[in-house]
Amino acid sequence: MRRPKLFTLVAVTLFTAVSVMAQRGTVDCSQVIRSEILKKDMPYSVFLPEGYNTSSRSYPVLYLLHGMMGNYTSWVNLGEVNRIVSEAIACGKAPEMIVVMPDGLIDAFYINNYDKTVRWEDFFYNEFIPQIEKKYRIEANRNARAIAGLSMGGYGSLYHAIKHKDMFKACYAMSAAVLEVEPLKEGEKQSDFSKNFNLKTWGPNNAEGLPENYKAHSVHEIIKAMDEYKEPAGSMFGAPPGWPKIMIDCGDDDFLLKQNTNLVHMMKEKKIPFEFRVRDGGHTWEYWRTALDLAMEFIGNAFRN
């Protein structure tokens, strides 16, 4: 049966309108910051909301981190960041914001490695954030700054939100690679992956059978070392002043669910304010795209409060 021309025209018009709405922002993957700390040019991608080039206002910022073996374009090419962020802004889930996607050097885990040959954390705070927040019209204060990421970037977002909680209003950790390292038993051998990872990032094992750099950068170890959290007197409901709003989001089929759940139990014991979300899915881009949509609403609410 032939469809009426009017029906076809309406369908095409609606499809075009939705497509245009979905791509209201602009993404630039060509930007570079020269790092004297890392002694190299560090590329990044940036999402700018639709009205950025015609306005004079300043915007909140989200630092969005990629996973292991990814790079600064992963959220653009695989994560559909333009569509998801544009849609969240257009439908009112989140306020207009800038999203900056730095490069994590494939597997640097967004920290300083054990021998300081890769000082990513120093680069991030001493060079990257200051230059980004000078180059773009960003509200350069904690209440307008958030961090999120997937897998390695989920670990990075949690680590930075907890260690540098004075810097971030909110954190959304997706499938966080919050790796737990057990001391090696006498005569026990490390797997090749663990050995290579330790030697590059954590460093060689100490007398306790633990990597040298592990305790300083493991989210589990950082939480273990904390005193029980006490809400500051006079603070309102929700995340109290001085502690970011945190969401831990992990799929029920994700191989990292156990590590995330263990961390959640530790945070509950220390009475640290956070939210935990387990949804249907695994360690996949399909999952992370839906997580980004949820993250926009979560972070948007934090910026608005």
| Domains by residue range for the chain, with CATH | 24-180+218-304 (3.40.50.1820)
pLDDT at site 203: 78
pLDDT at site 187: 59
pLDDT at site 205: 74
Amino acid at 162: I
Task: Copy the structure tokens of residue 297.
Answer: 């609403």
Task: Copy the structure tokens of residue 268.
Answer: 């509950």
Which parts of 23-127 fold into alpha helices (H)? Answer: 74-77, 81-90, 120-123
Amino acid at 2: R
CA distance 202 to 212: 6
| Burial class for 203, CB neighbours closer than 10 Å (0-12, 13-18, 19+) | middle
Place of tokens 């929700």: 238
CA distance 277 to 37: 37
Asked whether the whole model's pTM tops 0.75, one would answer yes
Segments of the chain scoring below 70 in pLDDT: 1-23, 183-199, 209, 233-241
Task: Copy the structure tokens of residue 181.
Answer: 């390292």
- The candidate with the shortest Cα–Cα distance to 289, out of 88, 91, 152, is 88
CA distance 303 to 246: 13
DSSP 46: E
pLDDT at site 13: 39
Task: Copy the structure tokens of residue 127.
Answer: 């060079």
CA distance 146 to 300: 9
The number of residues in the chain equals 305
CA distance 50 to 86: 8
CA-to-CA dists, residue 179 to 67, 155, 156, 198, 266, angstroms: 14, 8, 11, 12, 14
